[in-house]
Amino acid sequence: SIEVSEKRTTFGLLIKKVNKLFAWYGQLTGMDEVRMTQNSVIAAQNRLESAQKKRQKVSIELIRLHEMRDELNSQLMRTSRGEERYLKLLTEESKIIQNEKRIKSVLNIFERDERESFCNLALKLKDSHEKERAHSRRSKYLHFVFWIFGGITTSLASLVYNKKINNINQSIKKLENKVDKIETAKTSQGSGNYWISWIPGISTIKSASGWILSRIY
């Protein structure tokens, strides 16, 4: 259970580091700004849809009042002024006219809100497109910079590696020279100095150095 807990902790830390890396990259490339503008576009679109629904609802109510008033006018034309029903129809018509005025004022407010919402959405869309273009340009520049940086880093690493290889080659050459001197001394001394042939590793140092060079190249 302790090992499982440690693995979970390590995995959680790794996830946090990855999230921080993505957040840093998003800020660097401007992707965060693109997301914010996209969210603002969605909010503006929702506001416009809400304003349109309100305006449509009030418009339907206004149409219904118009139809009711037309029907009352038709009844008034067929009703004599001396009838008791005539006064009742006039009262109903007056109420409908008052409701129409109230609904028209509400409709004007909703229409103005709809126009403002539409203009706001247009501005948000324009801003979103500009942010996306800026993000695209910045990403291209960063990719170019990273490519240059990667090339320079690779070149430096290659120089360091070649320098180390040259140092190894020089050390091996010095070792081979020492071996050659020892072999020359053994040959010139003859069998009297037979102890040289018993020095551990002398007979294989030269072949070993050749093997090292073959593995490097």
For the chain, which residues make up each domain, given as ranges? Answer: 2-155
Residue 65 predicted with pLDDT over 60: yes
What mean pLDDT do residues 43-71 have?
92
Question: Dmax of the chain from CA atoms?
Answer: 159
Closest alpha carbon to 66 in 29, 108, 96? 96
Q: What is the dihedral of CA 21, 25, 28, 31, to 10 degrees?
A: -130
Higher-confidence residue of 79 and 15: namely: 79
What is the tens place of the pLDDT at every residue in 168-192? 767 777 776 776 666 666 566 554 4
CATH level 3 topology of 2-155: Helix Hairpins (1.10.287)
Q: What is the pTM (predicted TM-score) of this model?
A: 0.53
Instruction: Using the predicted structure, report yes or no on whether residue 156 has a pLDDT greater than 80.
Output: no
